[in-house]
Amino acid sequence: MKQFNYTIKDEVGIHARPAGMLAKTAKGFQSEILIEKDGRSVNATKLMMLMGMGIKCGDTVTVTVTGADEEAATSAMQAFFAANL
């Protein structure tokens, strides 16, 4: 299991477009990727639920990656968050 925290810098937070891209990226890995905020967590492949979290600018999320390709998945997620959110 690998984990990292990230504070959202994008003005509108995880809105439809980045949520869509995030879900797409997450689907590319076998590992389970969970996004957690304030005790609620959701699988990163679940677009609607992810959008439903209402993650905004300034919120800190915890990303937890568990699975066979967790190394690669984690670096991909870190890169994704840094580039898009």
Partner 1 sequence: MLKFTGKGVYGAIAVGRASVFFQKKKAKIRRTGIADVEAEFARVEAAKEKATQQLSEIYEKALREVGETNAQIFEIHMMMLEDEDYNESIRNIIETQLVNAEYAISLTANNFSSMFAAMDDAYMQARAADVKDISDRLITCMTADCEKTIHSDQPSIICNDDLTPSETVLLDKEKILAFVTAYGSSNSHTAILARTMNIPAVIGVGEEFLSNIKDGDMIAVDGFTGEVFIDPDQQTLEQMECKQKEAREKKELLKRLKGKENITLDGQKINIYANISGVEDLGAVLANDAGGIGLFRSEFLYLEGTDFPTEQQQFEAYKKVLVSMAGKKVIIRTLDIGADKKVDYFDLGEEENPALGLRAIRICLTRPEIFKTQLRALFRASVFGRLGIMFPMITSVSELEKILEICSEVKCELQEGGIEFSNDIEIGIMIETPAAALISEKLAPMVDFFSVGTNDLIQYTLACDRQNPRLESFCDTHHEAVLRLISLSAENAHKAGAWIGICGELAADTSLTEAFLKMGIDELSVSPSFVLKLRNTVRNIDLRS
Q: How far apart, in Å, are the Cα atoms of 58 and each of 66, 70, 82?
A: 26, 26, 14
User: 45 vs 78, which CB is nearer to partner 1?
Assistant: 45
Distance CA 56, CA 8 (A): 7
Nearer to partner 1, 4 or 43 (CB): 43
CB of 15 to partner 1, least distance (A): 6
User: Does the active-site annotation cover 15?
Assistant: yes
- Binding footprint of partner 1 on the chain (CB under 8 A): 12-13, 15-17, 19-20, 23-24, 43, 45-49, 51-52, 54, 56
Q: Which of 2, 15, 46, 56 is catalytic?
A: 15
Residues annotated as catalytic (active site), given as ranges:
15
